[in-house]
Structure 1
């Protein structure tokens, strides 16, 4: 962990260790590992990484170095800049302190709520750094408003790095942000259709696709978390870096779980479907008995 700036701004860098072989290739203790930068929501001022503890553990277990930058305040100016300043501090000072293990040629930026709304601006700053020369992706989850060029909300075309893959995820039961913002961003970004997807996670029986699904701890993790959050960031990262898991069918799949007699497939996600559709599935699971995805979202750590 390293401090920077003022107002108790901090960066946390989580690194994979050990001799395990993560699904992203190599071994956990490789001298260079790909990097994910997290722009958190403003659930609390100076949010701690424990708010996304399960997500961070999953990312590290899959072989990523994870940078988490918090910020003070809820105004885009200066909060956006605080987040990016944290990214820069981690990529320079903290990277040097850890033996330059960050492979900054392969990077992703994952954001939630306010942090997701910051990603278009953050993407434009990342484009000036030289990071992501081999692969670059951005994942926006439960996107809040986007602020660019003094416009709130943002209007007009949003310029993104030309090699970036972009994934935008909306949650059907989100009562915190307007889901229309996600579609506004999807339609406004300059990213070609072949490099972007918008996904809507649907409720399934008693399981809800709520705003807070990407955050939380072990007390509320379930199959919706594995398939609706973990699988999606893994898919966009794989697509950007390896050219795999790019298919719409991968993003639609919400798996099967053993709480049903068959077991039955869970309600599929909506992918690249406009306008928003409401699809509710009857006969949901009787309890949190979930099949783990065969090769993504595994709760067992390899790193």
Structure 2
């Protein structure tokens, strides 16, 4: 998206008009549609994978096989290309949007075929992934909260207050992470969905202003580029590798920490879901 569509959009914006003709508009709309749908469905699949690992298996170390990941990636791209290529078959079309400097799905014409296609597109490629993301991260938060409470019951009285504080901090981090992910998803894609529904069902006497219609589309395009960066930074393994590339002087903490304090802190926070599962088995 950053290599292909954004430079074309920037050049068209500088010129003040679309400069690649009808064919270029269809190719631009197709590539933008594919990249956007791939992003949405990838976020939904990531949410499902995290839900399965945390809620179903009770073991964060269980990882999806690479072959399964490859199959899922192929399915996501195939599904996205299918929906994005349908307008080229005559079912709908790509058209200029906003100020006439980019192209997108046709959500303005209210003919029956365009209407049915866009309703199906929004339902399967925006509303359904949105529900999946919300369900998955809500389930993760509820599961972590329940597990932490069960762990607190296994602790002796001397450690209860400290464990209670750790429990609250873990639940808070989980809630914040889930809320941020869902909020980014809503902030990036829902304005575009609202704009499309208004274009299809809103009063024809009050059409969407060109400048207003550009804002949700720019936001969606930027999210396609930003989401991989945000999800990468959110991965602890990637952060660890990035930290290793920094100069050694930046690795040192400004506050000295003894080995005993570090080991105590490590033990204090190292109870895993797998260990909980084992304790459950022993107690039963």
TM over 0.5: no
- Greater Rg, structure 1 or structure 2? 2
What is the TM-score of this pair, normalised by structure 2?
0.23
More strand by share: 1
What is the TM-score of this pair, normalised by structure 1?
0.22
More helix by share: 2
